[in-house]
Amino acid sequence: MTSPDSSLPVSPSGDPRCPTAPPPPEPRRRTLAALALASALTASLTSCATAEAARHALVVDTAFNAKSIDPARVYQPTDYLVDHDLYETLATDAGKVLHTPLPGLATSWSNSEDGQSWTFDLREDARFSDGSPVQASDVVFSLDRLRHVDASPAYLMAGITVEAEDARTLVLTTESPRADVPAMLATPQFGVVNADAVRAHGGTDAKDAVTEDEAETWLNTQSAGSGPYRLKSYSNSSQIVLEANPEYAGNVPACAG
């Protein structure tokens, strides 16, 4: 991933499972950012796990516009795409029918008769990039932190409360009936972070997080998610480099050519 000021796009390789494909012809300078961004994020655009399949992935043409990949603060188009590959969400929009969310970290969910309570059952195989298991308490921390950091995406948590029933079950409650909850939870702002790791680096989900949370700098240099990729380097002015996450429970990420 690179900006228009860089000379060549960067491929998120470094993983022996991902052979490097031959480099494409040098593109025009004004299209470098879009091509490099699509290269580094191929895994989120295709379900295939080979370099050959990655060559047929959908290319998203977008300007390099990055500020922060902290899920509680993410708000820029480029950062959205990066977080989609670093962090898993309870539901995902990776299916063929975009308006129908599919299971992500949650294997299933159900809505109460009054439409105000959603119960999610988590997968047992999900692991963060440090190998620790993803638990319901991590989801609660992530969503409460999203609310209390009170950055641009905090409005998404308005009227929503979340609590863990046990390590694999959590309940979201809304002030009024809402059918859009699973679809909303598929967006990158709801990426689930490793609560212990974020706390250890100044993060908090407490009500004073707007002034006390100091984890953004660390989250812009390290991975704290369970997605197919982990962060290798991040610069919001030049380039973002991802590499395959060896702890990812899904298919091996597709290589970018």
Using the predicted structure, report yes or no on whether residue 169 has a pLDDT greater than 90: yes
226, 87 Cβ separation under 8 angstroms: yes
If you average pLDDT over residues 132-144, what whole number do you get?
98
User: What is the pLDDT at residue 14?
Assistant: 47
Using the predicted structure, report yes or no on whether residue 170 has a pLDDT greater than 70: yes
Least confident window among 19-33, 131-145, 177-191: 19-33
Distance CA 51, CA 23 (A): 12
Phi then psi for residue 174, to 5 deg, are -115, 150
pTM for the model stands at: 0.76
In three-state secondary structure terms, 25 is coil
If you average pLDDT over residues 133-160, what whole number do you get?
97
Using the predicted structure, report yes or no on whether residue 185 has a pLDDT greater than 80: yes
Using the predicted structure, report yes or no on whether residue 23 has a pLDDT greater than 70: no
More confident residue, 9 or 191: 191
User: What is the pLDDT at residue 64?
Assistant: 85
Using the predicted structure, report yes or no on whether residue 90 has a pLDDT greater than 90: yes
If you average pLDDT over residues 48-61, what whole number do you get?
54
- Looking at the DSSP bridge assignments, the partners of residue 172 are 118, 162
Using the predicted structure, report yes or no on whether residue 173 has a pLDDT greater than 60: yes
Distance CA 189, CA 185 (A): 8
* 59-62 long-range contacts, CB within 8 A, separation 24+: 59/34, 59/35, 60/34, 61/31, 61/34, 62/33, 62/34, 62/37
If you average pLDDT over residues 38-46, what whole number do you get?
43
Distance CA 2, CA 32 (A): 7
User: What is the pLDDT at residue 60?
Assistant: 57
Model confidence pLDDT, tens digit, residues 207-235: 999 999 999 999 999 989 999 999 999 99
